[in-house]
């Protein structure tokens, strides 16, 4: 997904641990928006990555973005940071790589809230939203009309997306390697209750799992409709 700066979203409950999984955070500059994030997860084989391994993974991810996603991104979209966090323990490894990776696609820029929506398939069936990512990709030459990507653009998006994903799935570090892109579910269900006093409004609250539930992503599909992320049009925070 692509979200606003996680540091500005307020306090959140401590999330459950996720064995043998790292979280990768891609930070982008999109025009004047300096805080656009995509968060993805990868399962690893072997031993857990330490801090040095996480730095190596983050730096290698930057190279995989150069070989894939940037080919469908306007130069006004710049990868500025990649972080890697081992979610298996509270003291798991962490690494950061400061990047400067602008897009290389031709064509004119699109509005800052425009995104390419990638839908992910998983084997588990349940009610509710399924895994997806809103990537800052595309230029004006990729549009069939204001609401739809061309078939050729969708094919290119998928090729460049998969080049990055497949490259990440082959990253090795001392003692292990990343193996599969996965999704992580932290919330088991929601409950409704009333705030104090008891006559207050009803609100829904998440009930978190004891351990994060991991699903292997079985497919990647480009949504033909132009996606949108409203937060990106806010520009610089002043």
Query: Residues 70-125: pLDDT tens digits?
Result: 999 999 999 999 999 999 999 999 999 999 999 999 999 999 999 999 999 999 88
pLDDT of residue 229: 85
Strands 132-135 and 172-173: unpaired
pLDDT of residue 231: 60
Q: Which of 85, 82, 84 is nearest to 97 (CA)?
A: 82
pLDDT of residue 5: 47
Phi, psi at residue 163, to the nearest 5°? -60, -40
Do the beta carbons of residue 71 and residue 160 sit within 8 Å?
Answer: yes
Name the domain count of the chain.
1
User: Is this structure's pTM higher than 0.75?
Assistant: yes
Mean pLDDT, rounded, for 22-38? 93
pLDDT of residue 84: 98
Mean pLDDT, rounded, for 124-151? 92
Mean pLDDT, rounded, for 31-52? 94
Q: Which of 94, 86, 97 is nearest to 44 (CA)?
A: 86
Residue-range definition of the domain harbouring residue 37: 2-234
Is pLDDT at 33 greater than 60 in this prediction? yes
pLDDT band at 232; cut points 50, 70, 90:
low
Residue-wise DSSP of 111-162: PTTEEEEEEEE-S---SSPPPEEEE--B-GGGEEETTEE-HHHHHHHHHHHH
25-34, 89-98, 137-146, 160-169: which range is least confident on average?
25-34
Structure tokens at 146: 């204001």
pLDDT band at 14; cut points 50, 70, 90:
confident
């Amino acid at each position: 997904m692509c979200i606003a700066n996680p540091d500005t979203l307020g306090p959140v409950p401590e999330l459950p641990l996720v064995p043998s999984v790292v979280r990768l955070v891609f930070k982008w500059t999109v025009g004047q928006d300096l805080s656009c994030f995509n968060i993805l997860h990868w399962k690893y084989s072997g031993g857990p990555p330490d801090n040095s391994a996480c730095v190596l993974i983050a730096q290698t991810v930057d190279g995989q973005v150069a070989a894939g996603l940037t080919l469908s991104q306007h130069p006004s979209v710049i990868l500025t940071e990649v972080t890697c966090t081992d979610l298996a323990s509270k003291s798991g490894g962490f690494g950061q790589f400061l990047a400067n990776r602008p897009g290389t696609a031709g064509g004119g820029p699109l509005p800052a809230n425009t995104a390419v929506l990638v839908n992910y398939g998983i084997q588990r069936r349940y009610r509710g939203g399924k895994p997806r990512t809103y990537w800052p990709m595309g230029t004006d030459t990729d549009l069939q009309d204001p609401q739809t990507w061309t078939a050729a653009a969708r094919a290119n998006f998928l090729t460049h997306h998969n080049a990055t994903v497949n490259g990440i799935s082959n990253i090795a570090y001392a003692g292990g390697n990343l193996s599969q892109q996965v999704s992580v579910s932290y919330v088991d269900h929601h409950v409704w209750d009333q705030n104090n006093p008891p006559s207050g409004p009803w609100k829904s609250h998440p009930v978190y799992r004891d351990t994060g539930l991991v699903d292997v992503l079985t497919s990647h599909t480009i949504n033909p409709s132009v996606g949108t992320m409203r937060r990106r049009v806010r520009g610089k925070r002043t």
